[in-house]
Amino acid sequence: MKRMKSLSYVILMSFALSFQGCDNPKLKPPRPNDADEESARSIQEQAIDREFARELAKEFGKEFAKEFARQIKEGDFPLDLKIDSRVASEESAPT
């Protein structure tokens, strides 16, 4: 029972302290009216940047796919995809 009392005090104090900060006006100063106009402009600029980024990514993807296909076709693939025979024999060996 004593533990329940102390727990309720802790919960009550933490609840009171969390709402005590809401009364302090320094924590959340009022915003000036200019910020609304600036935020609207920045949102539009971000939308333009996103569209540009999408177009750039599409273009890069197309060029990458073309180059990748060309390298595979010509056999100039930079990675060696063959499995080393020693590694394969070690993996298949019973332990």
Does 25 reside within a domain?
no
Are the CB atoms for 27 and 21 separated by under 8 Å?
Answer: yes
The pLDDT assigned to 28 comes to 63
Profile the chain (95 residues) by mean pLDDT over runs of 10 residues: 71 71 60 64 70 89 90 71 58 58
Q: Which residues are CB-contacts of 39 (< 8 A; sequence separation ≥ 6)?
A: none
**Which structural domain range is residue 61 located in?**
43-81
Instruction: Tell whether 86 is covered by a domain.
Output: no
Biggest CA pair distance of the chain: 80
Considering the domain boundaries, does residue 76 fall inside one? yes
Total number of domains in the chain: 1
Q: How far apart, in whole angstroms, are the C-alpha atoms of residue 62 and residue 58? A: 6
Query: CA angle, 62 as apex, 77 and 64 as ends, to 5°?
Result: 25
Q: Is 77 a domain residue? A: yes
Note if the pTM is more than 0.75: no
In a domain, 48, yes or no: yes
